[in-house]
Structure 1
């Protein structure tokens, strides 16, 4: 069972000491880049991509394209320097946008999307694409990841992008054009940066109706999330969290549920289990130590909660192979 609350006095955490929730989520979930590829397509061209298991992204190095995602009404138009992420990897179509509807003869089979001496498709204007995909580790159902919209467009051309985004796109474009020793490592790190930019963009759009992202911008809920991430083993209650961020218990509970999509204690319990899973895989700490770090007063209580969450006990989880780490990042050249 969870640790019993101790008689502690809490004060709101100063902003400079708050835990970076976005970084903590990404670091704990351990996303990785699985594949990078660079391809040139001459107009007229089109590609129909099936639904995938992993999040996809595209960087437009040259030219322009139109993206139509299954289930969305309006297409997205991209030009050189733009990046688009599809967090849930839905089926989608890419084309050069020169025709209202691509002709059947325009379509390039997805399996042919590899570098070649001449552009794939037709003899017209060339679009150069860099493609890749992300895979998340422990729990891609985290509220922040669930809050991703179907399509995230990042642009370096419309004044909204940051200098670091533009530099990242330039580095990806240059590295895929002339890959060398260590390219897989370099591109993997650059892809990490792209995903962080996407997260920042969603945080900046906190005025939208997306639960999860609005929570980070909310003073009370955002501070409470920081506290839970910084001190997952603390015996938090709704009342203690509310007092720590300076609001009433009832108001805090209602606001947290509205912005995050679940209750504070449900979020805390789930986050503890995600952190515990990582501790089991990446440390040799005893079960008693991990149970205490996760906020449980005994190893048996922790083991029961862990099995209920992950479908196996902590020992079996620690010994099990890690599916998310099966293959290295590959760069198609």
Structure 2
């Protein structure tokens, strides 16, 4: 497949997993202040619109210092503490009660220098266990300062800051889309900064394995074998199998089977195609074989999965406490 026609694996993963922004809010905090956040089920992010802060993530030795224009993503949403950094350790009186963290236009904390913090979180719709998402580090920091970020990242941060400062009709939708862009920036940064070290990300930069992933994403219904994939990308079968497992973290056929089930789940929810059609698109010879594999993966059969109600879209723009 020519390079300009390869499937963009990152885009395909995000589009298929259907991530969405659940929460979004803007908080004004005057020093001294501190916020203690418990572990969450969804990936959290923060945008520093003004001022500065210190972030201490549970399980890490050193804090991270953030300033205006910085973005931080916590993919696995560990427990963490944010504070203004004016004290070696925040004291009990510095902490803002969680029930006060709903954007109300009022200033929280003390009377010192002001920090404006914009926060939200992501939820993935089908299955967050894709190797690319598992390969995320505990914290990703993006900066628009000193030439570290791209012009598009800086523009996204500016738009988020402006929209949260003066929300209007449709703000929830606008902010959700802008948050999606932030996540893509984090993914891009990870392919550059983390790709040399972490399974999953290394695979995208590898010519043979990256091309094989593109083929599986482009043609999930093709009866791929390890030998056929290896031949398609011009390497030996044994070398391909070993390298794929090393870079992706699982075997080629396990990855393919997992991806087919994720795609099939989406097709069931978003189309009226028959089970026979979906089974064929997912690479299965018959609907019964597909149904058996689907139930083994998701715990329910395709029909029950299709009939089950989906989670409603979040309404409004607010802070999760």
Fold agreement, TM-score > 0.5: yes
Residue by residue over 1:151-170, the C-alpha shift from the partner in whole angstroms, topping out at 9 and shown as x without a partner, is 01010003221000000000
State the 1:326 CA deviation: 2.0
Residue by residue over 1:220-262, the C-alpha shift from the partner in whole angstroms, topping out at 9 and shown as x without a partner, is 1100000000000000001111111111111111111011100
Equivalent position SS for 1:94: strand
Label 1:329 to 1:161 Cα distance change in 2 as closer, same or farther (>3 A). farther
Bigger mean CA deviation after superposition, 135-144 or 102-111: 102-111
Residue 290 (structure 1) aligned with residue 278 (structure 2): yes
Aligned to 2:236: 248
Label 1:103 to 1:229 Cα distance change in 2 as closer, same or farther (>3 A). same
Aligned to 2:34: 46
Residue 135 (structure 1) aligned with residue 123 (structure 2): yes
Q: TM-score, normalised by structure 1?
A: 0.94
Aligned to 2:202: 214
Residue by residue over 1:264-318, the C-alpha shift from the partner in whole angstroms, topping out at 9 and shown as x without a partner, is 0000000000000000000000000000000001000000000000001000000
Match of 1:30 among 18, 27, 48: 18
Segments of 5+ residues of structure 2 without an aligned counterpart are: none
Equivalent position SS for 2:187: helix
Equivalent position SS for 2:122: strand
Aligned to 2:112: 124
Residue 225 (structure 1) aligned with residue 213 (structure 2): yes
Match of 2:85 among 78, 84, 97: 97
Aligned to 1:4: none
Equivalent position SS for 1:330: coil
Contact map agreement 1:232 1:272 (CA 8 A) in 2: yes
CA distance in 2, matches of 1:185, 1:172: 12
State the 1:33 CA deviation: 0.4
Contact map agreement 1:36 1:329 (CA 8 A) in 2: no
Residue by residue over 1:15-64, the C-alpha shift from the partner in whole angstroms, topping out at 9 and shown as x without a partner, is 10100000000000000001110000000110000001111100000000
Match of 1:70 among 58, 64, 70: 58
CA distance in 2, matches of 1:332, 1:281: 28
Aligned to 1:301: 289
Contact map agreement 1:188 1:329 (CA 8 A) in 2: no
> Which one has more relative contact order, counting CA pairs under 8 Å at least 6 apart?
1
RMSD: 1.1
Label 1:46 to 1:95 Cα distance change in 2 as closer, same or farther (>3 A). same
State the 1:111 CA deviation: 2.0
Aligned to 1:198: 186
Aligned to 2:317: 331
Aligned to 2:95: 107
Segments of 5+ residues of structure 1 without an aligned counterpart are: 1-12
Match of 2:255 among 242, 267, 272: 267
Q: TM-score, normalised by structure 2?
A: 0.97
CA distance in 1, matches of 2:120, 2:159: 15
Contact map agreement 1:154 1:161 (CA 8 A) in 2: yes
Bigger mean CA deviation after superposition, 190-199 or 150-159: 150-159
Residue 85 (structure 1) aligned with residue 73 (structure 2): yes
State the 1:205 CA deviation: 1.8
Residue by residue over 1:194-228, the C-alpha shift from the partner in whole angstroms, topping out at 9 and shown as x without a partner, is 00000000111244421101111111110000000
Equivalent position SS for 1:40: strand
Aligned to 1:155: 143
Aligned to 1:10: none
Aligned length: 319
State the 1:14 CA deviation: 1.1
Aligned to 2:305: 317
Equivalent position SS for 2:149: coil
Bigger mean CA deviation after superposition, 99-108 or 277-286: 99-108
CA distance in 2, matches of 1:329, 1:202: 30
